[in-house]
Amino acid sequence: MSDCNIPAAGNPNHFAPDEIIIYGVKLNAGQAYGKIDLGRDQAPLTLQINVALGNKTLPPDEVAIVAAYGYAFEGHCYRFDRPKILLFEYDGLGFIAQGCGFDRPPPPPGPAPAPGPGPAPYRPYSMWRIKAQTRILELGMSIDSAQTLILDAGLPGKRPPNTYSALMQVAHRGGRLTGSQ
């Protein structure tokens, strides 16, 4: 079994059967807001998200704004098909990621570095241990043209079912299903 399939070890002092380990990158590390680059060729547009309780902005050691790439639960690792932006309360900054393949640094671009003493490898991923009942806010993000996100998504057959007429009811008439209003 490769280490990509092994989640981080649990806490030996406290077993939590409903623990979920979230793997990702903290977007609000070192500041009270998370930054998301909206991918523009000219001057970059950046979305800044902060979390407030009343009029007080919560510091980064009380809330995590995370670009999550995967999670572990009950001894198994799972990867999201695309990163999820998650916000949740968390006491602390998270831990350096262990297990599920997130503990290895990405290969650096260009030629491999020469072996020998040097700086510690860069570990971009962190992990957070949360309970299954922890309240989480997921932000859905899609970046594309207005044509794709609004017009093309509204074509018949591509719309979510809840956008069709709510007045339409299905009635049984002589063995056939017909629509009535």
* Higher-pLDDT residue of 179, 132: 132
Which of 17-21, 35-39, 112-116, 125-129 is least confident?
Answer: 112-116
Percent of the chain with pLDDT over 70: 68
In angstroms, rounded to a whole number, what is the distance separating the alpha carbons of residues 32 and 8? 28
**Average pLDDT score over the chain:** 77
Give the three-state DSSP class for 25: strand
pLDDT band at 36 (very low <50, low <70, confident <90, very high): confident
pLDDT band at 143 (very low <50, low <70, confident <90, very high): confident
In angstroms, rounded to a whole number, what is the distance separating the alpha carbons of residues 22 and 68? 7
The secondary structure element, H or E, covering residue 136 is: strand 136-139
Give the three-state DSSP class for 47: strand
Strand partners, 136: 88
pLDDT at 161 over 70: no
Strands 63-73 and 126-131: unpaired
The secondary structure element, H or E, covering residue 67 is: strand 63-73
pLDDT value, residue 1: 41
Extract long-range pairs of 170-174: CB within 8 Å, 24+ residues apart. none
* Higher-pLDDT residue of 3, 155: 155
